[in-house]
């Protein structure tokens, strides 16, 4: 059986659609039919209105000068080598 488009289903009569749905439901297990019934009943309930939490504001990235970047690289290099000078 090929998948029919929504327009094709809309062209069918109401009775034809009911027979199609009943035929489908007859092939399903009791549990699957119960799940469908539950979702149908749930869709009729009103939506609960919940407030969305505001996303945290992101801080702007800092721009470092060429001098600062050079100092950072030197610090990292000395840290890897284990030759950092101690403060007096």
pLDDT for 63-83, tens place per residue?
889 999 999 999 888 888 877
Would 88 be classed as within a structural domain? no
By residue count, the chain amounts to 88
Phi, psi angles (nearest 5°) of residue 76: -65, -40
Phi, psi angles (nearest 5°) of residue 12: -70, 155
State the total domains in the chain.
Answer: 1
Q: Stretch 45-63: mean pLDDT, rounded? A: 81
pTM for the predicted model, two decimal places: 0.44
**What are the pLDDT digits (tens) for 19-37?**
999 999 999 999 999 999 9
Sign of CA dihedral 27, 38, 4, 22: positive
Q: Domain residues for 27?
A: 9-43
pLDDT at 10: 93
CB 63 within 8 A of CB 69: no
Would 61 be classed as within a structural domain? no
Distance separating alpha carbons of residues 5 and 69, to the nearest angstrom: 61
Phi, psi angles (nearest 5°) of residue 78: -70, -35
Would 65 be classed as within a structural domain? no
Would 82 be classed as within a structural domain? no
Would 63 be classed as within a structural domain? no
């Amino acid at each position: 059986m090929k998948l029919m488009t929504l327009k094709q289903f809309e062209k069918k009569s109401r009775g034809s659609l009911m027979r199609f749905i009943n035929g489908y439901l007859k092939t399903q297990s009791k549990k699957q039919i119960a799940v469908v019934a539950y979702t149908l009943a749930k869709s009729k309930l009103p939506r609960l209105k919940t407030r969305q939490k505001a996303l945290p504001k992101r801080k702007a990235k800092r721009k470092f000068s060429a001098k600062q970047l050079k100092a950072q690289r030197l610090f990292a290099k000395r840290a890897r080598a284990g030759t950092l000078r101690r403060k007096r």
